[in-house]
Amino acid sequence: MLGRVLSNDFPRSKALTLVLAVIVLGLVLTPFIFPSVKALNVAAKILIFVVLVAAFDLLLGYTGIVNFAHTMFFGIGAYGIAIASTHLGASWTALAVGTLAALALSLLLALVIGLFSLRVRAIFFAMITLAVAAAFQTLASQLPAITGGEDGLTFSVPAVLSFSFEPFENDVLGVTIDGKIISYYLLLVIAAVLVLALLRLVNSPFGRVLQAIRENEFRAEAIGYRVVVYRIASSMLSALFATLAGCMLAIWLRYNGPDTTLSFEVMIDVLLIVVIGGMGTIYGALVGSTVFLIAQSYLQDLLRLVSDATAGIPVVHTLLSPDRWLLWLGVLFILSVYYFPSGIVGGLRERASRRTAQREGPAKPDSH
């Protein structure tokens, strides 16, 4: 049963299994064991980025395509929800219409970009997608009547998801259940379904063809696969999952603007998470998103505590200033790449494979 759910793509490492179990259990229980607003926001962002990064890894890790327009589809999903909710009101119909319209637009744009760009060399395709993403961000900023311009759009969601909604008179395990917690568990269910769908996809015959194209597209073409068709299909699927991640973000924030989903900073975060977690592993999206976003959210607070404790040591106090949190985030990234060059997931799997090989010993020669 578990094999079917995970598409027989098991962690293959006891350490990785433990890490994944802790992360999943932590995300499931966050509202009860970390009841602060900040902790809930960080956990929700992890759920959103798991889907966004896994969708990007479908392109980069499994197909070998670098697409800098990935955040454009992320923004389309968020704008779809925001625009529909602004015009149709706080209803499930608005959410459905916004999601479907965003998916349709993303599908069309991904197809057009693929048809025009995927026949060129990888570096030129990356530059084309970067230009398209920049143009879309500019367009979103200059259409205030539709997108709200630079100010973005603030909107309401169905009453069940609103912060004032409280279905129970008494607390549950000491926590007041309200619309925000319901929204969080809605995101949790959506993220779980989408990640399991991606696992199924990359472990299907289609996914194996994508990996063959990544390794040697000329050989894949030679044995009969239409490489361009598969690459376009991969781009379209990645765009659809990124769009759904954008819808998740809009539902959580009740707001969307150009800098929230379309900025290049979001794209940089996605790239860093893929490298930290490990390319070509859907599990890497979960591990990388958790490590990166927790470090990004809490490193400054940790440095503030350490800085206060070392106030009497001038040089150390200066180096550990909370204002230098980006420096230490960079140091952590360098250390993670140094010790896990193939990402955390890849590194743990490689170590497990080496230990297994050492236990089994060298292969015995054939007596014949």
DSSP string of 45-86, one letter each residue = HHHHHHHHHHHHHHHHTTT----TTHHHHHHHHHHHHHHHHH
Token pair in block for residue 200: 């199924």
118 confidence band (pLDDT: 50, 70, 90): low
Domain at 69, CATH number: 1.10.3470
**Is the pLDDT at 363 greater than 70, yes or no?**
no
Whole-model pTM?
Answer: 0.92
pLDDT of residue 28 exceeding 80: yes
Does residue 242 belong to any structural domain of this protein?
Answer: yes
- In a domain? residue 163: yes
Residue 167 domain boundaries: 9-358
Determine, yes or no, domain membership for 1. Answer: no
Identify whether 80 is part of a domain. yes
Residue 35 maps to a domain? yes
Does residue 2 lie within any of the structural domains?
no
Give per-residue pLDDT as tens, 230-277: 989 999 999 999 999 999 999 999 999 999 999 989 999 999 999 999
More confident residue, 10 or 119: 10
- Per-residue pLDDT at 170: 81
The total number of structural domains that make up the chain: 1
- Is the predicted pLDDT of residue 12 greater than 60, yes or no? yes
In a domain, 93, yes or no: yes
Q: Does residue 17 sit within a domain?
A: yes
Q: How many CB atoms lie within 10 A of CB 196?
A: 14
Q: Where are the alpha helices (DSSP H) in the chain?
A: 2-5, 14-33, 37-60, 70-88, 92-117, 122-141, 144-147, 179-202, 205-215, 217-222, 227-253, 258-261, 264-277, 282-309, 314-319, 325-339, 343-360
* Nearest CA-CA partner of 292 in 336, 246, 238, 256: 336
Q: Are 286 and 348 in contact (CB under 8 A)?
A: no
CA gyration radius for the chain?
A: 22
